[in-house]
Homo-oligomer: A and B are copies of this chain.
């Protein structure tokens, strides 16, 4: 049984100038990332924002696809969105997971820039396989997770395209690729 969750943080994240901001939730992140999460067997896709109106927007979108017209029109989308969990911040996520598993959760940040205390994809894949502790992957919106979140994490994955001269993937692409590297089917 895979014990892997992902979280998309909308605060605190960085803007283009490196300032700390809160970003807006986007409908498309919800759809694309929940579909990837469900495909790879991720148990929970946490959407974290401290803003009440944003949490309400998430509830409305999920409601449309879970109970509204969308549920009958597109049952596959209903199933994908069933993994979405709106929360206010990282502490709430860690509390929820620790309570569920009664165990410390390994918190893994992601970044498009190299960071101290990196763990390779291969090594983390091995840890997930062994299943000694539940794993939570953190993704940032806007220009990435704020340093205080990176510091709070137990470890950080290396940039996806470390050697490319261009590394501006969407967070939707980044989540998909990282899930595939960590739990995708091997040939």
- A contact set with B: CB distance below 8 Å: 28, 31-32, 35-36, 38-41, 76-77, 79-80, 120-122, 160-164, 166-170, 172-177, 180-181, 184-185, 187
Q: Which one of B76, B170, B174 contacts A31 once the chains associate, using CB atoms below 8 Å?
A: B170
Distance to closest chain B CB from A11 (angstroms)? 22
Are A161 and B122 CB-contacts (below 8 A) given A76-B168, A173-B32?
no
Residue in contact with A187 in the complex, picked from B38, B120, B161, CB distance below 8 Å:
B120
Chain B residues whose C-beta falls within 8 Å of the C-beta of A167 in the assembled complex: 39
Q: How far does the Cβ of A26 sit from chain B's closest Cβ, in whole Å?
A: 10
Other-chain residue from B77, B121, B176 in contact with A177 (beta carbon distance below 8 A):
B176
Main SS class of interface, A: helix
Query: Is B31's CB under 8 angstroms from A166's CB?
Result: no
Q: How many chain copies does the complex carry?
A: 2
Alpha-carbon gap, A167 to B76, bound state (A): 9
Find out whether the CB atom of A161 lies under 8 angstroms from the CB atom of B176: no
Q: What is the CB-to-nearest-CB distance from A133 to chain B, in angstroms, rounded to a whole number?
A: 21
User: Are B32's CB and A172's CB within 8 A?
Assistant: yes
Residue on B with the closest CB to A77?
Answer: B168
Chain B: minimal CB distance from A170 (Å) = 5
Distance in angstroms between the alpha carbons of A80 and B167 in the assembled complex: 10
Given known pairs A28-B28, A173-B176, A187-B120, the reply for A35 and B80 (CB within 8 Å) is no
> Contacts A35-B169, A160-B180, A173-B175 given; 11 further ones with Cβ under 8 A?
A28-B28, A32-B173, A36-B169, A36-B170, A39-B160, A39-B164, A39-B169, A122-B187, A160-B184, A162-B185, A180-B181
- Compute how far the CA of A160 lies from the CA of B180 in the bound complex, rounded to whole angstroms: 9
